[in-house]
Amino acid sequence: MQFPNLQNLPFRPSLHAINMLLDSTADEFAGRHLYEIAMTTLQPVNPKPFLNGLTGKPVVCKLKWGMEYKGYLVSVDGYMNLQLANAEEYIDGRHTGDVGEVLIRCNNVLWVGGAEESSEMQH
């Protein structure tokens, strides 16, 4: 059984949630979704250190309007506006194009998390 990568989640599941997963049988795990368990036992994460720790790394940023942008986090300011480089736009999970360098205003962001580096992002 392969567990999802917990380091790329935009939240930190509690030790209790992780233990619930590890104590589950394969059948029980199949009926439980990691996010569902983790969402009920979240531990707060300080957003500024979290975002500063993602600087220079690949991230995914979901906007309130449904679009997602994947790219390298270049910088974050005090308002939590985000600057991404080599960004790609996704609408409804479909790659709609490379947008290059973008600035995302803070009030549009639904969530931000670490992303796996795709071969598309490297060019």
pLDDT tens-digit profile, the chain (123 residues): 445 555 555 566 666 666 666 666 555 555 555 556 555 666 778 899 999 999 999 999 999 999 999 999 999 999 999 999 999 999 999 999 999 999 999 999 999 999 887 655 554
Question: What does the pLDDT read at residue 1?
Answer: 45
The number of beta carbons lying within 10 Å of the beta carbon of residue 52 is 12
Q: Evaluate whether residue 75 is within a structural domain.
A: yes
Judgement on whether residues 53 and 109 belong to the same structural domain of the protein: yes
Which letter, b or e, does each residue of 108-121 get, where b requires 16 or more Cβ atoms within 10 Å of its Cβ?
ebeebebbeeeeeb
Judgement on whether residues 109 and 60 belong to the same structural domain of the protein: yes
Query: What is the DSSP-derived secondary structure letter of residue 40?
Result: H
Give the range of the structural domain holding residue 89, as residue numbers without chain letter: 47-114
| The residue to which tokens 């993602």 are assigned | 54
Judgement on whether residues 16 and 63 belong to the same structural domain of the protein: no
Q: Evaluate whether residue 96 is within a structural domain.
A: yes
> What's the number of domains the chain is made of?
2
Judgement on whether residues 78 and 108 belong to the same structural domain of the protein: yes
